[in-house]
Chain A
Amino acid sequence: MNLVLAALVGLLFAAGTWLLLGQRILRQVIGLGLIAHGANLTVLLAGGLVGRHAPLLGNPEPRADPLPQALILTAIVIGFGITAFLLALGYRMHALEEDEG
């Protein structure tokens, strides 16, 4: 499972980088999104994937590590906000282009 996820992280980073190097704004935004997802998966991997149970007192071992999940949640929210901003910026560029003819 670790290996599969690690390969997936690599794939996300590679695809994201490829898209980012393109010319079109929309592709670049999607590329940045993919890279961000790669980073999120890395955080998940960092906590280890052994935990099968919720980290509550009384639950049997092995328990999941809650911290990476909290970190990812925060990172997703930030990534979402910035993606929205980038899309708005891209739209603005498009609109200005039409204004200026």
Chain B
Amino acid sequence: MNAAAAPVLIPLLTGLLCVALPSRRLRWGVSVTGGTACVVASVWLVALARAHTVVILRFGNWPAPFGIVFAADLLGALMSAIGSWVALCTLLALLAQPHPRLDGFFHGGWHLMLAGMNGAFLTGDLFNLYVFFEVLLVASYFLLTLGSTRRQAREAFTYVASNLVASTLFLVGVALLYAAVGSVNMADLSVRMPDASPGLVRPAVFLLAVAFGVKAAIFPLYAWLPHAYVLPPGPVAAYFGGMLTKVGVYALYRLFTTLNPLRGPEPTLVTVAVLTMVFGVLGALAQEEVRRILSFHIISQIGYMVFGLALGTPQAWAAGLFYVLHHIGVKTALLLVSAAVEASYGTGALRALSGLAHAHPFLGLSFAIPALSLAGIPPLSGFWAKVFVVEAGLRAGEAFAVGASLAVSLLTLLSMSKIFTGAFWGPSPEREAIPALHYLAIAGVGVLTLVWGLGGGWLWDLTATAAERLADPGVYAQTVLGGR
């Protein structure tokens, strides 16, 4: 089996097997084993992609651009590895506090989502990306609505409808690109796009950017997000919050590096990025519930990642990628803490909670560390992520945007302290137990920010390599099309 297919095939088979298995214990066993295997496979793929630039799988051995290819470069492999790791940790949190809504089919949906996500990261074909997006989204619709109440079903409908419209725009964008360039293979597109007529390419790129923008929740396309992420059981929301929007961010990176590379700062995207940061954080300040505050912060942080992309230099892309990886760990950890609180205390409302740090010192710590990291306090990974982005921004001469991003960090700190004073300080509540396994899950993702903060040099090297390779799509194209 080719290494590039493993992170898609393993979850797919695991999910199918889980649906067929009769007992709950067996399902969990297979599910966790499959999740672990997926982590191993995707980390191995990172090592391969680092050594060989692009790991290619040609389906049916048809040469590109005639057949469908998987082309795992360092960017895709890194995303797939972190996604699989976070999925495994989230699965442990779900095992720790089984939710009544998660019945036998849950594992099928969960692993299907993982397969769709990894497929989206690894495919080298734009239409195939559309298909994997749909696989991912259908699975997420399923997980979102599993055993829902009427109000939840109504909110989920909004989520499904907005994502469906975005997917349709994606399809139209692919059609226009095909009309202009005559290919849907990303490597082939990157080679032939400069010669195509801009009259078709520009609207196509715009439509794709809007479609990915909805999925990434950038300004002004984020309205669906805060409602949707309040619906599912806590750990599922933690995974959605950590990973789902990042698939959109990944697609934006692919669009503006491989397909239609930016050369230097792109003013429209910079503006969108700054507005995303500002509106997200302002939305968060207005909320009174832990999960809602954290959901709005996802939007705000997406702004930083898009800012890195918009600057259009390899250094800025590396900074943006570092930011993406850092944020996935931090955000999932925060939402897993909120999930633990909700599962044990039955609410996430700041008014109803107090003194959690006194009752659960370790829970307080595992909230405080990612929260400080999110705001960019040294020596955590969030500090380095912001330093890299700010440095790249100043080099590109975007002083205003950099200033805005620093102001947003302060507001982030403010709303994190709001959660902390509201839920974690104050008189101690009647203590409810939080299972050790849930702590293990939180630690699994939370430790990333410590490791990358104190010794993240190797991760920076990886993202810098990935960004340099993105800046030179010629090599990618040659490797993918080489088999002709």
Binding site for B on A (CB under 8 A): 20, 25, 28, 32, 35-36, 38-40, 42-43, 45-48, 67-68, 71, 74-75, 78, 81-82, 85-86, 89-90, 92-93, 96-97, 100
The residue from B130, B142, B153, B168 contacting A36, defined by CB atoms under 8 A apart: B168
Tell me if A's interface is mostly helix, strand, loop or mixed. Answer: helix
B184 located at the interface, meaning its Cβ lies under 8 Å from any Cβ of chain A in the complex: yes
Contacts of A36 in B (CB 8 A): 164, 168
The residue from A20, A75, A100 contacting B150, defined by CB atoms under 8 A apart: A100
Q: A36-B168, A42-B172, A45-B175 are in contact. Are A86 and B150 (CB under 8 A)?
A: no
Contacts of A90 in B (CB 8 A): 157
Q: CB distance A35 to B165 under 8 Å?
A: yes
Q: A32-B161, A42-B175 are in contact. Are A71 and B134 (CB under 8 A)?
A: no
Q: CB distance A47 to B178 under 8 Å?
A: yes
Residue of A with least CB distance to B183? A67
18 contacts between A and B (CB under 8 A): A20-B161, A39-B171, A39-B172, A39-B175, A42-B176, A43-B175, A45-B175, A46-B175, A67-B178, A71-B127, A71-B174, A75-B130, A78-B134, A81-B138, A82-B134, A82-B160, A86-B157, A96-B153
Q: In the bound complex, how far is the Cα of B200 from the Cα of A45, in angstroms?
A: 13
Residue of B with least CB distance to A71? B127
Q: CB distance B131 to A74 under 8 Å?
A: yes
Contacts of A85 in B (CB 8 A): 138, 141-142, 160
Tell me which residues from 421 to 440 in chain B have a Cβ below 8 Å from any Cβ of chain A.
Answer: none
Residue of B with least CB distance to A28? B161
Tell me if B's interface is mostly helix, strand, loop or mixed. Answer: helix
Contacts of A96 in B (CB 8 A): 149-150, 153
Specify which of A25, A32, A46 lies most central, judged by the most chain B CB atoms within 10 Å of its CB. A46
The smallest C-beta distance from A95 to any residue of chain B, in angstroms, reads 9
Q: A46-B176, A93-B154 are in contact. Are A82 and B138 (CB under 8 A)?
A: yes
Q: In the bound complex, how far is the Cα of B182 from the Cα of A42, in angstroms?
A: 14
Chain B interface residue count, Cβ-Cβ cutoff 8 angstroms: 29
Q: In the bound complex, how far is the Cα of B238 from the Cα of A92, in angstroms?
A: 25
Q: In the bound complex, how far is the Cα of B175 from the Cα of A79, in angstroms?
A: 16
Residue of B with least CB distance to A25? B157
Contacts of A78 in B (CB 8 A): 131, 134
Q: In the bound complex, how far is the Cα of B258 from the Cα of A87, in angstroms?
A: 38
B145 located at the interface, meaning its Cβ lies under 8 Å from any Cβ of chain A in the complex: yes
Q: CB distance B127 to A89 under 8 Å?
A: no
Contacts of A25 in B (CB 8 A): 157
Q: CB distance A67 to B184 under 8 Å?
A: yes
Interface string of B113-147 (1 = CB under 8 A from A): 00000000000000100110010001001100100
Contacts of B134 in A (CB 8 A): 78, 82
- Closest 3 CB pairs between A and B? A46-B179, A96-B150, A46-B175
Q: CB distance B164 to A32 under 8 Å?
A: yes
Q: In the bound complex, how far is the Cα of B149 from the Cα of A97, in angstroms?
A: 9
The smallest C-beta distance from B134 to any residue of chain A, in angstroms, reads 5
